[in-house]
Every structure is written in structure tokens, then in C-alpha cells.
A = this chain, B = another copy of it.
Amino acid sequence: MRAAVALADRVGIEALSMRKLADELGVVPMALYKHVANREELLDGMVEAIVGEIDPPTAGADWKSAVRGRVLSARRALQRHPWARQAMETRTTKTPAVLDYMDSFIGMFRAGGFSIDLTHHVMHAIGGRMWGFTQELFDDAPRPGTAPRAPMPPEAQAAMMQQMAARYPNILAVAMASAHEDSAVGQGCDDQFEFEFALDTLLDGFERLHQQGWTSARARGQATGS
């Protein structure tokens, strides 16, 4: 796994093949399949490793600087591994380290007193920026070419829920809240709304900066008002 990350750092993600990695390890290609089921799972593992490099949230900080610091840490991790962004974007399954990160990320807003509802929208808005770059989050839309996962037996689902509740309380809270909301849409969350929420938050910010005659804050040595 570490070797895969190192190799990708050197040759990029496209050039990382099972054969090249096997060569690197002085081993025959098929040997790798004793450790991962397939190439996809290898990429999953690599992403896990990168997510693990992100610093934990600074304890005792206000929500804003906690979030800010965490995102910048994620960005640093991504910059160390330029292939990681693309790899994350193509990943479809959410692995434990990713869920951990999301859960604790949600936790930062909750600890700052954000309502579940606002937290939910805010998570969408910050989207992949939370990874040090940007992507749509919660993107469960079935893409063509990806087979729908096999349905699980109900008791297994229940057990899964238990596990989830214990390990990812914040994710669950948000998911539950958005599931039975008294909105017009009813079940699930409204992608269009989330997109416009993020867009408008940015546009409103731009408007404010423009109205107050913003000139390069860089020269003044700070970013925005924060």
C-alpha cells in the first residue's frame, strides 16, 4: 500500500498498473491479488492512506478556525500526492477512514452550534473543498456502467445501522434529519437546492466584497474578513 502510494507519487495514477506495482515489489502481478480483490480496491486503500495523513481537528478551537485548519491540512495532503484528487473523485464506495473524516468534519460544525439542517447544507456547500479541493459530495447518483450494489438481507442492514450509529453519529444525525424533512421534496435531499445554496453563498460573498470596494487583500496581508 505504501509502495503503491510512493509509486503513484512518482509515475502518476494512470501509469500505476498492477504489473508495475508488482515489479516494484519484486513480485509477480497476481501476487497482489492476495491482498486486494482488484485494482479498484487498491485505489480505495491508497485513498484511505491519504485521508489518514490529514491532521485531526485542533482541540479547543472555535468552529471556524478548526474547519479552516483542517481543510488546509487536507489540502497539504493532497498536494503531497497530486494523483489523490483524481483518485478520490473516481472512488464510489465510502471507506472507513473517509467516513471517519466526514463524521468528525460534521462534528466540527455541530460543536460550533450549527443546527443539523444548516450543517447539512453547509457540508454540501463546502463539498470537496473539505478535501483540499472541490467536488460534489454525497454523490450517490447511480452512474451508468456501475452495477447497483447487491441488496443486503434486512438483519444485516440493521446490524450495519447499529455499527454506523456508534461509529458515525454525526453522519447519521444529518442523514436522519434530511430523510424525514417536512419539505416539499419529502425524502432524501434536494441536490438542486444544495447546489444553489453553495452557489448563492459564494455569490453573496462576492457581492459583499465588490460593494465594499474590495482591492487585493493579498497586498494587505490577509484573505477576507476572517
Contacts and interface: CB of A to CB of B under 8 A. Distances in A.
Interface of A: 9-15, 64, 67-68, 71-72, 75, 82-83, 85-86, 89-90, 112-115, 117-118, 122, 125-129, 132-136, 141, 143-146, 181-185, 190, 193, 195-207, 209-210, 214-219, 223-226
Nearest to A14: B145
A10 B218 contact: no
Nearest to A82: B143
Nearest to A130: B199
A222 to B, nearest CB: 9
B200 A114 contact: no
B12 A143 contact: yes
B141 A198 contact: no
- Most B CB within 10 A of own CB, among A9, A10, A201: A201
13 contacts: A82-B141, A112-B210, A115-B214, A129-B198, A129-B199, A132-B195, A133-B135, A134-B136, A182-B219, A193-B218, A200-B224, A200-B226, A201-B209
Contact of A204 (B125, B132, B199, B224): B224
Identical copies in the complex: 2
Nearest to A116: B216
Contact of A218 (B127, B146, B183, B200): B183
B10 A144 contact: yes
A182 B218 CA distance: 10
A117 B216 contact: yes
Given A133-B135, A197-B223, A200-B225, 8 more contacts: A13-B145, A82-B143, A114-B206, A114-B210, A127-B134, A201-B224, A203-B226, A204-B225
A64 B200 CA distance: 9
Given A12-B145, A202-B202, A219-B182, A133 B133 contact: no
A12 B147 CA distance: 11
Nearest to A145: B12
A205 B122 CA distance: 10
Contacts of A118: 206, 209-210, 214-215
B122 A128 contact: no
Nearest to A126: B202
